[in-house]
Every structure is written in structure tokens, then in C-alpha cells.
Structure 1
Amino acid sequence: MSSHDMGRRTLLKLSGLALVGATAGCLESEEDGTTTTTTEESGGGGGGGEETTTTTEESGGGGESYTIGMVDSLTGSLAPYGERNTRGRELALAAVNEVGIGSEGASLNISVEDDESTNQGGVNGAQKLVNQDGVPLLIGSVGSGVSIAIHDSVTQEAGVVQISQNSTSPELTTRPELLRMSPSGAAKGQALAGLVSDDGHDTVAVTWINNDYGTGLSDVFAETFESEFGGTVAYNEPHDQGQSSYSGILTEMASTDASAWIFLTYANEYTVMVNEGFDQGYNTAVDYYGAESTVADSIIENTPAGSMDGMKGITESAPQDQENYQNFVAAFEENYDATPTVWSAYAYDAVTVAALAIEAADEFSGEALSAVVRDVTRPEGEEVFNFEEAAAVLRDGGSPSDINYQGVSGPVDLDENGDPPGYYQIYSVEDHEYVFGDYITS
């Protein structure tokens, strides 16, 4: 369902979320009405196929418009996460265009490129958006390695603001210009080590996906588990993305005396591992643990009942008692007949923060947006819970530092490294369903 198909009732419900966007370096005139266009383009590389998809979503009732770019995972291993981002983006787009950008009420367009869940695919998409389309702000991506590759190869040199909606690797902290809505995985890795130790495990086997996400999270987990909790990591090896079998990895893990197995991987890869582990009876011999990327409906749907019951992990979460998050959930459920995860909320907030930067900036350029994008989230300003509230302060003569956007995912408060604070939650698998428990804050 596209944002422009949403009815007036939904937009009213989203009035507590209203947001704005960004543009492609110049204002565009468009006629009344709304459209969505999708084009297939040959090339693109990245190992995910021969074609890349460009989607431009346009909303609004005419006049001027802004366009920003987004690189998302529409195909490949991270596609289950890209789908949830799409829904958050659609809700954000509907809300921003209900309010409009600036005193003229300009509308927002978002041009989306598929990264194919690969670094090269992400770089290709970002190059098109930045070099051909001229966007001064880019949202993306899901995978930490993809976000880092886009930053290092495209946005940093071009002076384009980049906001990742979902990337969690601690490596992003070393790149202060690379902003993100989801918190660093460092605190999550530490919390996961504590959870495993508290459950009585002193020897573990860890397998991690061979990219920046897996490397960063596994390093934090292993160091914390051994140095702070006195545990032993008997096996700590990577696995490649997109393999049809991981039986060799599982056999090696089973050859250790580990009582717990830690899977730091993506949904597709973990699904294969769960099925092979079930076939070999490993799931009854050891306890499984994971992080946020082993929480996905597709995992439950594509594994047999009982194959991972008792699994536990740590995932990012949202402050569920916060009113604007509840408004977000209500709108999400009405439009998609599903309950959102915090990841859709991160995608929503990425667009919102981009919009607030545009509203606050002196001009629509990478330099001007970069100068204000952190300020609109800082805790020194007045708390605002939606774009409409923030825009009212700015249009009444307020400065960017006069507002403190409280995201639907929680306080954003981007620090000097571009990182927000984190909310985490312990989850488990019971009767082949995810069950969410206690909260942890960083």
C-alpha cells in the first residue's frame, strides 16, 4: 500500500507524527495529485541480480516539492528488513505531506534505490542518487557494511548528509558524519554477553556473518563475555552471506563443549541454520542465542515448530508507553494489518529528522543540512513529538537548537559520533513465537 492511498482518517491519526523531507538540490514544480513511478534499470552490480529498481514516491497537492534519496534492501538477505522500512517510510511520507514543508507547504518525494543487500549494490544506488539525481541528503541503509561503504565511497566526499535507519555496527561510531537512528550495537553486545552468563553458560560457540555488522557485534560480545564474565568463547568464526548450507559451521560448533550457541547473522542465513540444526538435533542439545537480526516473521514462517523454542536474545526496542509511538503503532496496524517493530519506527524517524533539518536549514544543500541535523534532536531544546510541533517552533522564529525531537522510536539525541541512545529488550521463542520481556537502556 502506498502512502498516497491512505485516507483522511489515517492522516488525522498521524497528526501526532507529522514529518517533512528533503529535496534533490532544486525545487520541482508538479501538478496536483499523487503518483508513484517505478523503473527497471540494467546494471547495478552487487551480486543481487542484473537489475536495480528505482522507485519515486510523490505526494502532495501541487506546488513545489523536495526530493531526497533512500538506499534500502528490497532484494537479497536483508529484504525482510527492507520491507518493514518501506512501511515506516510510507507512513512518514503521508504525515509530512499533510503538513507540508516550509511556509509554502511544499511536498516531499523520496527516490529509493535497491542495494540488493550488498555493499556494491548500495554504492551503485547511492552514486545514482548523489551523482545523477543530485540529492543533498540520503537515507540508508539496513546493513552496516552497506552504510559504511556508501559513506566511504559516495557521501563523505560529496558532502551529502547520510542517515542510516537500521545499521547497528559499532564501526559507524568511528565515522561521525554517518548518522543513524538505531543505536550502536556495542551496548547490545554487552547486554547479550550478560544474558548468556546470567543463564549459567560459561562456554559458548559464536558464528557471525562476515561483514561489518557481524565483526563489530561479535568482537564486543566475545570481549565482554571473557573479560567481564570470565567465560570462554570456544568457537568464534565467521560465515558467508547467502549460502545454501551451513552444516560445516554447525558441525564445528558441535565439536566444542559449548553449552550455548550465539548466532550473529541475518534472517535468511539463520533460517538455514535453524533448519539444519533441527535436522541434526542440535536444538535440543544446546541453547540458542541471537540479536535483532534473528527476529523476523520470515524465520518463524520458514522453520518447523519446535526448532528454536527456548532461544533468547537482545533486540532494539521502543518506549511503548510513549504517546507518539502508540499513535505510530495505531496507524501502522490500520494500514498494514500488522504490528510494527522498532525498525519501522527507526525508518520513520530517519525521514522525520531529515525533514526537520530541511525545515531548519537556511538552504537546501548538504552543507546547510549538515549544520543543523544534529541540533534538532538535542536534549537542550523544547521537547516536540512530531513534525508539526517542531515546525511551529521553527516558523515562529525558533532556532534548530530550540527543538528536541522525541522520535517514535524514543529520544534521538544524536551525539558527536552521530549515535542515539539505545533501548533494548530481551526476547525469547516460545511455542514457535517471539515473546518480548524486560527492557535494558544504554
Structure 2
Amino acid sequence: MSVFAKASASRKRRGIWAGVAITATSALLLSACASGEQPAESESQGPREDQTLKIGTVLPQTGALSFLGPPEEAGVGLAVQDINEADLGVTVEVEWGDSGDPDNKAYETTVPRLLSADVNALVGAAASGVTKLFLDQAVGAGVLTFSPANTSPDFTDWDDDNLYWRTAPSDLLQGEVLGNQIAEDGVSNLGIIYLNDAYGTGLAKSLTENFEGTGGTVVASESYNAGDTSFDAQASTVLAAKPDAVAVIGFEETSTIVPTFVSAGFDGSKFYFVDGNLKQWGGDMPVSIAGSKGTTPGPKLSDDFQQRLKDYWKAENGSELEDFTYAAEAYDAVVLLALAALAANSTEGADLAAQLQEVSGGSGDGEKVDNFADAAKLILDGKKVDYDGYSGPITFDENGDPTEAAIGVYEFGDDNLHTRIND
């Protein structure tokens, strides 16, 4: 059984968000269908014209989250391929760009370049901390920002003129699922070490509240800063509190943090990870973490979708795709943007934003669809749609947050690679 959740939120600038676990449905299948005839007129918007939607990616090709770049870019690329092959009133063009991270600041070059190229929407960033550094710039330019991976609760009530959307759920949900999982595993006293940024502080807060809500105790919670290379002080403080387990909330530096704890005598099977560091560590983790667990947003992906992602990545880059984290969310972000362009009969940022909630099923009474081609045909026929994608039902609220999302639970084996343990 998988962990699935619904959430609701108040209007922006008054963000209140709550999650309730329910049963997940199986992964949805997509079939990209052949093109169909387009009506000459849109009943509500006058003459219909073929749309060219130009998106720019701000995804991590370098930096602390670079392991998320390939699956997210594969999701974007495969969606573009499916949309363009369908030939149903919208063509998507992509300008690829590197977000980097707050340390190397690749976004400082990428975002101005993409805005100068007159993109209609930015897809990214992966890191909440990076998006915060360019979101106001994009809003000021009237360009929509759509992230497949931002999880900071801060975006729920960001002053964004309705120009920020995401297919990843708020960390309020991941914190709930992780806290419950840790409690179910019999942990009473938990230690936390977290990155001192928007992502780390938000998730640490949510984890603490939810774990302690189960009756557990967070006996120590220590932060560190981006760029830190030594974690002896934090490890010493956390271990002095004698935790049963330690949650590590961070990125690539996890491969230094964990050995620091293990060298001090802590059991390598007693760690919990999150989406920022739940990677296939393998030999990159110098100590055994077999038995440790972690969570990351996203449903269990169908074999067909994974294979299509692999085939796309191999054809485009000549390398194997080994991770699928946020690939579905990236795919659905592009599909939703294309459907919004059709529904709006426009690719302007504000016009796209005005249609995203409706095409996701968050408003109106649209017909359920699970692929771009079928949805596009309905929209071209003047009907409303409710798109349920590979990442789940999505169903945006008025804040641009998905109100339904799955959270996967994973466990590491002897090879320091993880497998999903819930459906």
C-alpha cells in the first residue's frame, strides 16, 4: 500500500495546508494518440490559432542536486516529444538551462538568458532555495514559473501574481509521512541534522511537529550551512542526546555527514533520508547504510513510463538514466502548461496561469483524462478536462499547490541502493 494524500489550502498570503493519508491508485498509463482536426473557432476566445509554447528549464545540471537533473530533464523532454508528435494545436520549444545551486549560482546566468529569449514559462528549479532567488525576477517579467520539485511550504503564500505553480507537494506532507514512518519503526527518540536553508528548515520543522505528534521526542536538532565540510560538532551534539535514529535533511554533503556519525559509533542502519538526499548512493556512500530508509514525493512509476524515459535519455544523451526522482512531476508540468495554452488560446504567462487549476481538475467539472492527446482533443472541442498524470491526480488549489500527491518510502540494501517498499 502506498502513502497518498489530499490537502487543501486557503488563498495566497494566508496559506494553511493540511494532509491526510489515503490509499493510492496504481500508476496511470499514457498513450500519445494521433493528431485530430481542430475547430476554427474557440467559443469563448474567438478564432483559434496554433500555439507555440516556449519553455526554459532551470534544472540542476551542476551543484548539490545534480543527481536530479537527468530524471527531470528526461521528464521534460519526453513530454515535449509526446506533445509535438500529437500535433494538436500546440508546439513546445525548449531552451535548456542549468539552475546550479546557491553556491555556484548558475541560475544567475541561466534565468536572465531565458527571459531574454522570451520564454513563456520556466520549468524549475529543483531546489526551493534556488527558486526563491529568482522567482521575483520571473514574476516581474510576467513569466510563469513551474517547478516539478520545490517542496518548501513558503511558496504557498508567496506574493507571485499567480505565476508560481508546482507538481511537487509541500514538505508539510513529506514531514507527516516521514514522521509517521519513523514512529511506526519503533523510534522513540529522534535526532535531526538539517541544512539551514528554506528547504531544510521547513522540512525539519514539519518532521519535528509530526513525529512529536505521534508521541515521540526530537532529542536534538542541529543545523549546518551550505558549503560546510565538517560536521563533527553537530554529530557530537546529536549523539550526546542518545537518539534511536537520526534524520538527515540535506543534499550531496550527506555522504560526509553519515560517515561522521558512523565513525563516532552510530549504527549505519538507523538513518532516515528525504528527497534531497535519497539517491542511489552505491559506492558514493563510504559506509554501509543498509536498513536505513527515506521518503520522496511521487507515485510508483509504471515500467512502461520508466522505459520510455530511459529510451529518451539514451537517445538524447547517450547515457543510462538510473534515477527517476521527479521525472513524472517534470513530465506533468510540461503537459499541464501545454493544456493550459490550448485552453487559454494563448501562451502569455498570466493566461496560462488562469487555466492551470481548471485543466488539473482543481476547478470546474472537467472530463478525466490521463494523456495529453485525449485532453487536447476535448479542449479543441470546447470541453473542460481534468488531467491526471504520471505524478498522480495533481488537482491544483488556488495557491498553485497540488492537493493530491503520493509519497514513496524506500529502504537501502547491502549495496547502498534503495528500493521502494510501499506501492
Shorter-chain TM-score: what band? 0.7 to 0.9
Q: How far did 1:319 drift?
A: 4.8
Contact 2:68 2:325 in 1 (8 A): no
CA shift for structure 1 position 64: 8.4
Match of 1:163 among 146, 149, 162: 146
Match of 2:94 in 1: 110
Q: Which residue of 2 aligns with 1:246?
A: 231
In structure 2, what is the equivalent of residue 201 of structure 1?
187
User: Percent of pairs identical after alignment?
Assistant: 28
Partner of 2:242: 257
**Mapping of residues 331-370 of structure 1, within 5 Å:** 331-335=308-312, 336=314, 337-338=320-321, 341-370=324-353
Residue 140 of structure 1: CA displacement? 1.0
| Counterpart contact for 2:71–2:321, Cα < 8 Å | no
Q: Which residue pairs with 2:166 in the alignment?
A: 180
Q: Contact 2:250–2:277 at 8 Å: present in 1 too?
A: yes
1:269 maps to 2:256: no
Q: 1:17 to 1:282 in 2, by over 3 A?
A: farther
- The 3-state SS of whatever aligns with 1:139 is strand
Cα pair 1:278 1:307 within 8 Å, conserved: no
1:312 aligns with 2:289: no
Map of 2:381 onto structure 1 = 396
Tell me the CA shift for residue 415 of structure 1.
0.9
Compute the displacement of 1:274 (Å): 2.5
Q: 1:89 aligns with which of 76, 89, 95?
A: 76
Distance 1:170 1:98 in 2: 36
Q: Secondary structure at the match of 2:378?
A: helix
Would you say 1:424 and 2:407 are equivalent positions? yes
Q: Is the 8 A contact 2:122 2:143 kept in 1?
A: yes
Partner of 1:383, secondary structure, is strand
**Pairing partner for 1:329 from 302, 306, 321:** 306
CA deviation map 1:309-359 (0-9, x unaligned): 111222223154xxxx45422312434454652411111111111111112
1:289 match: 272
Taking CA–CA contacts closer than 8 Å with sequence separation of 6 or more, which of the two structures ends up with the larger relative contact order?
Answer: 2
Cα distance in 2, alignment partners of residues 155 and 179 from structure 1: 13
User: For the aligned residues, what is the CA RMSD?
Assistant: 2.5
In 2, are the aligned partners of 1:77 and 1:242 still within 8 Å (CA)? no
**Structure 1: 5+ residue stretches without partners:** 1-13, 21-62
TM value normalised by structure 2:
0.80
Match of 1:413 among 395, 408, 415: 395
Aligned length: 367
2:407, 2:34 → 1: CA distance? 25
Give distance in 1, aligned partners of 2:242 and 2:300.
39
Q: CA deviation at 1:15?
A: 6.8
Gaps of 5+ in 2: 1-28, 36-49, 315-319
Q: For the Cα contact (< 8 Å) 2:166–2:401, is it kept in 1? A: yes
Task: Indicate whether 1:72 and 2:59 are aligned.
Answer: yes
8 Å contact kept, 1:342–1:409:
no
Shift of 1:126: 2.4
- Cα 1:140–1:273 change in 2 (3 A) is same
* Alpha-carbon distance, 1:397 to partner: 2.2
Question: How many angstroms apart in 2 are the aligned matches of 1:342 and 1:76?
Answer: 16
Contact kept? 1:19, 1:387, Cα under 8 Å: no
Distance 1:363 1:332, change over 3 A: closer
CA–CA separation in structure 2 for the residues paired with 1:375 and 1:64? 19
- The answer on 1:372 being equivalent to 2:355 is yes
Which of the two has greater helix per residue?
1
The answer to whether the 8 A contact 1:202-1:232 is kept is: yes
Shift of 1:71: 0.9
1:221 alignment counterpart: 207
Secondary structure of the corresponding residue to residue 238 of structure 2 = helix
For residues 130-162 of structure 1, the C-alpha deviation after alignment (integer angstroms, 9 at most, x for no partner) is 2x22223211110011123322x2122333221
